């Protein structure tokens, strides 16, 4: 069987680099016309036939007037309904379009099987995937990653995909919260966290960091128990508030500030106001000391990483997946004003 000719083969024959050859074949305006014609002639002589998907990508990224059949990036979820993730989808769409890609959205379970979903994506010109987390442990099993460049954004309850991931720095956030409590010198403190039926990578980081925080508090002579875990369900937050009220700790690290808002049957708040709290997530209410996820930064970093994979034609699962952690922002509030 005749071996296909690559851009590197043409570049070697002409004494040029592969980037110059690629841009010449895509009619890049900054490449001299003589060089473009020389490259095209050599490509014809050697029987070069471009990969259609990469050709669409080259037209989008380098041509003076991008082709209508642009290479696209898809934001992919396993199923709907699943995690909403609107806070990610909007900045992801903006970032994808800003780099000149077409923007698509897919739910894999809308199709008969993963092969069908992948074929439709390819037919729509999709060359890269931003993979969102799922509540389904079996999500992404047997997905044909080898057809696409792909990066995962945040972990869910799915089994590990093997993809590189961009996530918020859960571990560092917990340690920072623990240091802030320690500096406040309360007589007693506690850590309360959610527990999923199956722990995500984020949960594992939270729990590991919580153990370190408690050990540091003990060395600082702050009375504390082991981290307390509450199964994630509609009753988790009020149960958390009730436990903290019963223990009467002076300070607590909690999953989100909604814990502070729950009221008893008489209308009074369950959690006493004198308990100073730090919320690991700001999504429920304002005025509380908390951390904010940098959704825009996470989206930007994920798309930049995917763009690099696409430009280098790196498809499938990486040999060594990267974990890119984006720090959360500290927001002072009631109880912890600094």
At 199-218, the pLDDT tens digits run 777 788 889 999 999 999 99
At 120-148, the pLDDT tens digits run 999 999 999 999 999 898 999 999 999 99
Could you tell me what percentage of the chain is helix, strand and coil, using 3-state DSSP and rounding each to the nearest 5? 40, 20, 40
At 166-202, the pLDDT tens digits run 999 999 999 999 999 999 999 999 999 988 777 777 7
Q: Does residue 182 share a domain with residue 283?
A: yes
Q: Does residue 185 share a domain with residue 287?
A: yes
Find the CATH number of the domain harbouring 270: 3.40.50.2300
Of 7-11, 16-20, 56-60, 112-116, the range with the lowest mean pLDDT is: 56-60
Q: Please determine, for residue 259, whether its predicted confidence score (pLDDT) is greater than 90.
A: no
Q: What is the pLDDT of residue 88?
A: 86
What are the φ and ψ backbone dihedral angles of 194, each rounded to 5 degrees?
-80, 155
Q: Does residue 237 share a domain with residue 276?
A: yes
For 45, the domain range is 7-50
Evaluate if pTM is beyond 0.75. Answer: no
Whole-number mean pLDDT of the chain? 87
Q: Which residues contact 223 (CB under 8 A, 6 or more apart)?
A: 187, 188, 189
**113 confidence band (pLDDT: 50, 70, 90):** very high
**58 confidence band (pLDDT: 50, 70, 90):** low
Domain-embedded: residue 266: yes
């Amino acid at each position: 069987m005749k071996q296909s000719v690559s851009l590197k083969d043409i570049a070697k024959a002409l004494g040029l680099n592969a980037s110059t050859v690629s841009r010449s074949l895509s009619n890049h305006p900054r490449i001299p016309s003589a060089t473009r014609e020389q490259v095209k002639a050599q490509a014809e002589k050697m029987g070069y036939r471009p990969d259609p998907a990469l050709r669409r990508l080259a037209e989008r990224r380098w041509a003076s007037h991008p082709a209508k059949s642009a290479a696209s990036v898809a934001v992919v979820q396993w199923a709907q309904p699943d995690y909403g993730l609107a806070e990610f989808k909007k900045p992801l769409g903006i970032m994808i379009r800003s780099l000149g890609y077409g923007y698509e959205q897919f739910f894999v379970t809308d199709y008969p099987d993963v092969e069908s979903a992948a074929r439709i994506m390819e037919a729509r010109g999709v060359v890269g995937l931003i993979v969102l987390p799922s509540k389904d442990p079996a999500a992404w099993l047997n997905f044909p990653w080898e057809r696409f460049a792909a990066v995962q954004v945040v972990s869910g309850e799915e089994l590990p995909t093997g993809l590189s991931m961009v996530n918020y720095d859960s571990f560092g956030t917990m340690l920072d919260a623990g240091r802030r409590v320690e500096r406040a010198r309360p007589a007693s403190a506690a850590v309360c966290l959610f527990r999923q039926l199956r722990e995500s990578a984020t949960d594992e980081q939270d729990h590991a960091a919580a153990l370190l925080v408690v050990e540091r508090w003990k060395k600082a002579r702050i009375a504390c128990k082991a981290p307390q875990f509450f199964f994630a369900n509609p009753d988790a937050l009020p149960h958390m508030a009730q436990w903290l009220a019963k223990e009467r700790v002076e300070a607590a690290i909690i999953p989100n500030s909604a814990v502070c808002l729950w009221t008893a049957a008489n209308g009074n708040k369950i959690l006493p106001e004198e308990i100073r709290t730090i919320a690991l997530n700001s999504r429920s209410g304002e005025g509380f000391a908390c951390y904010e996820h940098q959704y825009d930064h996470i989206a930007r970093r994920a798309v930049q990483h995917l763009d690099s994979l696409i430009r280098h034609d790196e498809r499938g699962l990486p040999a060594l997946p990267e974990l890119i952690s984006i720090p959360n922002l500290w927001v002072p509030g009631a109880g912890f004003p600094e």
